[in-house]
Amino acid sequence: MSKVKVYYNSACPVCDAGIKGQRQRMESCGAEVEWIDIHKDAEAVCEIGAQREFVRERLHVVDERGDVKIGADAFEVLFRHTPTQAVLARIIRLPILRTVARWLYNGFAACLYAWNRFRKRW
C-alpha cells in the first residue's frame, strides 16, 4: 500500500483551516499522509495530471491504491483513514448519500472558489 497524498490550496482560508484540522486528526492517529500545498508548489499538480485551477477549486487525494479522488470522494478517503471519522466514510459511501455529498460539495466548492477569486487570493 502507498501513502495517501492530499493536494490542497492553502491560499483559500477556509480550505487551509479545514486541512489543518484534518491533518491534526490524522496525525494524532498515526495515519501516513503526504500533504501537498499546490499554492506553494504549483508544479505538484502535474503528478496527478490535473489543472492547477481545478485543484484550487476541489480537494484532490491519491488513495492507497494510487487512484485520484476528487471532492466528496477525496474526503471519504480521509475519513476512512481517521478512526474518529470512519462512520462518516461509511455514510458517504451509501449510494444516495454519495450523490448528495458530491452535489453539495461541488456547489460549495464552486462558490468558495468564486469568492476566493473575487478576493484575489491568487
For 20-49, the pLDDT digits (tens) are: 999 999 999 988 999 999 999 999 999 999
- CA-to-CA separations, 40 to 7, 37, 56, 72, 84, in angstroms, rounded: 11, 6, 12, 23, 30
Alpha-carbon span 93 to 12, nearest angstrom: 27
pLDDT of residue 2: 73
- Cell 491519491 belongs to 62
- Domain ranges in the chain? 4-118
Q: How many other C-beta atoms are found inside a 10 Å radius of the C-beta of residue 65?
A: 8
What's this model's pTM, rounded to 2 decimal places?
0.93
Q: What is the mean pLDDT of the chain?
A: 95
Q: Vertex 66, ends 30 and 88: CA angle to 5°?
A: 55
What pLDDT shows up at residue 4? 97
Provide φ and ψ at 55, rounded to 5°: -70, -30
Helix, strand, coil percentages, rounded to 5, for the chain: 60, 15, 25
| pLDDT, position 71 | 97
